[in-house]
Structure 1
Amino acid sequence: MRTDAFLAVMHELVAFVRVAESGSFSVAARQQGVTPSAISRQVARLEKAMGISLLQRTTRQLRLTEAGLAVLEHGRAMIAAAQSTLRVAEGHVGAPKGLVRVSAPKAFARHLLQPVLLDFLRCYPEVDVHLLVADRPVDPLREGIDLVIRLTDDPPQGMVARALLPVQQLVLASPAYLASHPPLRSPEDLMGHSCLAIGEQACDSRWRFTRGQDSVDVTVAGRYTVNHSEMRLEAIEAGLGIGCVPDFVAHAALAEGRVVRLLPEWTFDTNYQGMASLLFASSRHAAPKVRVLIDHLVARLQPVHPGP
């Protein structure tokens, strides 16, 4: 049977499955909301289209032929698949429901995203979230991620970017370190201090500062290099030297006086800061579950004010 011919008798297939499962034309007719004779004609049309006998009819009972048993098995699977497809579609129209996959850098996810996602899950009990925490570049289209948070002003082709909040790197030291080392009045003074670099790239030990039209480049050195912002903050608090940390990671330590912000009148110019953006596929028909999470993140993620 050609595929197009088979599609023309899909209603008949459903009728046959109902008859086979109930063992009665009358019961199947009530389930379908039609008359028993209409159900009988539908099954007959299916048998004619397939060129085989599916049922053996007697005055007392219906029996499935060998072919009927096989068609029943496959027919059930096809109906189940169709129902599953409709449930998938429900996640793209109507009320928000289903799974949303999100990716974000580790520190951002821990300090900023986690509380917002927990609040979202309380607000939308029919939506589930799978959070992938990764500092590596994530390809949302290839990896099946719905929303990606990344420091970028230039979204990849085929993606839309919604600005969330600016991320600033702050230069910090502990009060104990500052009390036992020469004062830091300008970026050039860093060359006389132990500095904690990120160490992911060769240029990470070359720090650039800007102030208005002025810019200063300083090559720093120190005993400890670590590309984990929370571990770098712990080393700074321990008095190991001067380091840079994202403002949202340093917020509590600054507020509690465990660290001090240095050179606040200068901007630390680095690739590890900028606008945190929410990336997602460009589509006029985003699923409600994705749209509500986008709106929630944009509304709830607010800039961090690091203080002095």
Structure 2
Amino acid sequence: MRTNQHMGLMPYMAVFAKVVELGSFSAAALQLGLTASAVSRQVATLEKALAVKLLERTTRSLRLSEAGAEVYARCCEMVEAGRSVMAVADRFVASPQGLVRLSAPKAFGRKLISPHIAEFLGLYPEVDVQLMLIDRPMDLIGDGLDLMIRITDTPPPGLAARPLLDVYHLLCASPAYLERAGHPAHPHDLARHSCIYLGETPGDNRWHLRHGASGEQVSVSVRGRFVSNHSEARLDAVLDDLGIGCLPFFTAAQALKAERVVEVLPQWRYETSYFGKAWMLYPPNRYLPPKCRVLIDFLAARVAAH
């Protein structure tokens, strides 16, 4: 018998096992929500497909044939396996558990995701998290991820997306530096200041700014004695009075609130490809595992409170 025939007969096997368990067609029909004639037809179909007699029927009782007894034992194993599958599903639906593989851009993940993981693990002791901090675009399926965070204007098609935070950059300096070097009044003034920039590509020392009210665009080449491709390192340099740094707002937020740094040229927006919204991306699956759902909800609440 071919495999697809086996698969087609599995419902009949389950009905047959229930008939034997309860001792009658009518009792099995009542429990299964079928008519007695429908149950009888299904058992007859199974007997015909197997080409063996399974039940000896009398007016008062049913008796298993020799083949029927062995088939019943195997059908019971199948039914029990089905119960085990349902138990696994119920366990995963009922309580979050298992490993969640999550990727995030380096600066965003280090500042806004990593600090909250210990709290999450404490709340969900049966969930483990693998956090990958990487700036290159990741592929949810190809890289074997459960979730990923991407900063973009528009989330990619074919994925479910939950917005987490608006991401933008600003220029900051310490009060001590500005007292010493003066406040720039226009982007062109930056050329005379010590500036702290990324330095990953040759063009990173050319800053592009747009005026919020007029839309005027200005590009200016900057220089400085310290360059770093990590936003927290640039923030440290700003706090050490080394100059004016370009920083994501989420990196500078606490220092700004504490007035340890101040925004430079606040009416101008520093333009970079690292802007838009931070999106939590995941498969568009109505049966999203609880382990993923609770992590999404948890991180969305923590990031929003930043």
- The TM-score normalised by the length of structure 2 is 0.68
Task: Specify the alignment match of 1:269 in structure 2.
Answer: 271
For residues 201-280 of structure 1, the aligned pairs below 5 Å read 201-210=201-210, 211-213=212-214, 214-280=216-282
Structure 2, gaps ≥5 residues long: 18-62
Aligned pair in 2 of structure 1 residues 184, 250: CA closer, same or farther (>3 Å)? same
Aligned pair in 2 of structure 1 residues 134, 299: CA closer, same or farther (>3 Å)? same
Q: Secondary structure at the match of 1:191?
A: helix
* Contact 1:164/1:276 (<8 A) preserved: yes
* Contact 2:102/2:131 (<8 A) preserved: yes
For residues 44-123 of structure 1, the aligned pairs below 5 Å read 44-45=70-71, 89-90=89-90, 93-123=93-123
Identical amino acids, percent of aligned pairs: 45
For residues 151-162 of structure 1, the aligned pairs below 5 Å read 151-162=151-162
CA distance in 1, matches of 2:298, 2:198: 32
For residues 21-36 of structure 1, the aligned pairs below 5 Å read none
Structure 1, gaps ≥5 residues long: 16-36, 48-75
CA distance in 2, matches of 1:201, 1:161: 30
CA distance in 2, matches of 1:295, 1:272: 24
Q: CA RMSD in A?
A: 3.5
Give 1:280 shift: 1.2
Give 1:106 shift: 2.4
CA distance in 2, matches of 1:269, 1:80: 61
Task: Specify the alignment match of 1:184 in structure 2.
Answer: 184
Give 1:234 shift: 1.6
Output the amino acid matched with 2:181. H
Task: Specify the alignment match of 2:129 in structure 1.
Answer: 129
Output the amino acid matched with 1:134. I
- Say which of 285, 288, 291 aligns to 1:289: 291
CA distance in 1, matches of 2:129, 2:96: 12
Task: Specify the alignment match of 1:197 in structure 2.
Answer: 197
Cα deviation, 1:202-237, whole Å, max 9, x if unaligned, reads 432222222212322222222332111111112222
- The TM-score normalised by the length of structure 1 is 0.68
How many residue pairs align between the two structures? 253
Output the amino acid matched with 2:113. L
Q: Secondary structure at the match of 1:117?
A: helix
* Contact 1:101/1:130 (<8 A) preserved: yes
Aligned pair in 2 of structure 1 residues 184, 39: CA closer, same or farther (>3 Å)? farther
